[in-house]
Amino acid sequence: MSSASTDTVLVTGGSGFLGGRVIAQALTEGYRVRTTVRSLGREVQVREDLKAMGADAGERLTFVAADLTADDGWAGAVAGCRYVLHTASPFPGGEPDNEDDLIIPAREGTLRVLRAARDAGVERAVVTSSFAAVGYGRPASERAFTEDDWTDPDSDIPAYIKSKALAERAAWDFIQREGNTLQLATVAPVGIFGPVVGADHSSSINMITGLFSGAMPGTPRLYFAVVDVRDAAELHLKAMTHPQAAGERFIAAAGDAVSMHQIALAIRDRLGDAASTVPASELPDETVRKAAEANSALKGMLPNLGKIRHVSNDKARTVLGWNPRSSNEAVEATAESLLKLGLLDITDPQ
């Protein structure tokens, strides 16, 4: 059994919000890390971000150019790696004209990485899935969603959600049919929050910047679970090495779903006057519906008004000993880091 100091981990998507934290966690735990980026020009920024996270990369981190849409580079990327952490995935700026523009890259990119890992004799791959692959396509209920649940890809759901469900299904099918000795675990994060180190961060963070914009008189009745990016990264490393993680899915959530109103109040409580533009009240659903008639950007949230998708993180806690920060801690850390970096467009309500 080799030690962490001699093991190499491949992290795909190293320039991403989650990917960077996964690299930092792996380095902290003593691994050598190789990471894929679409352009080697991203290396300088990734290294700067890691310094801001307190991770000393040095020579233990190397970069290779590889794209999920092409075979080039993947054989070299996985060569000599004991583990692969596949965090890279396309995320849309909006709903695509054709859902296959999202589904095919997500599914084929995942399979491309797994084939390369299998062929290189990698011991275990951890694929970043999403709660989007778990909790959609059937009515929300009082029962919490668990890893036994799957999103129905044949239901009326957005292309991104469908792409995550189909990509994870394809990964498990691949392992069953032709994975050989390659082990697989998947991690399904909910909305990823936590401290940012630069302007390049996850789409979830845009919700926090939106709260500060002064554009909203109140928060819509939206509910979702959150997880701190640092805890999501730690869970990936636990899934990578824990003997009982092979062949298992793990939901990465700080706890059950919280409301946008709760998030807003937590930020106001934490930041005081600096959060004076964050709304303190909750909007009736009818107000939001009327606003959506004039603002098409709001229409996407209408089907989720008032719906609570309860989430359980029991499996990650009990099987892997994972102990995440609270939802409030995750969103407060997000807001504090955005404020510190000057990334909030705060409009004076006066």
Mean pLDDT of the chain: 93
pLDDT of residue 297: 79
Higher pLDDT, residue 216 or 237:
237
Pick the CATH number of 4-193+227-253+311-324 from 3.40.50.720, 3.30.390.10, 3.40.640.10, 3.30.70.360: 3.40.50.720
Q: How confident is the model at residue 204 (pLDDT cuts 50, 70, 90)?
A: confident
Question: What is the rounded CA–CA span in Å between residue 147 and residue 249?
Answer: 6
Residue 127 has pLDDT above 70, yes or no: yes
Question: What is the rounded CA–CA span in Å between residue 228 and residue 220?
Answer: 22
pLDDT of residue 140: 73
Q: Give tens-digit pLDDT for 258-311.
A: 999 999 999 999 999 999 999 999 999 999 999 999 888 788 899 899 999 999
Whether the Cβ atoms of residue 84 and residue 12 lie closer than 8 Å to each other:
yes
Question: What is the rounded CA–CA span in Å between residue 175 and residue 103?
Answer: 19
- The residues spanned by each domain of the chain are 4-193+227-253+311-324, 194-226+254-310+325-350
DSSP state letters, 168-192: HHHHHHHHHHH-TT-EEEEEEE-EE
Residue 82 has pLDDT above 80, yes or no: yes
| Angle of CA points 342, 233, 205, to nearest 5° | 30
Q: Give tens-digit pLDDT for 23-66.
A: 999 999 999 999 999 999 999 999 999 999 999 899 999 999 99
| Angle of CA points 237, 239, 244, to nearest 5° | 140
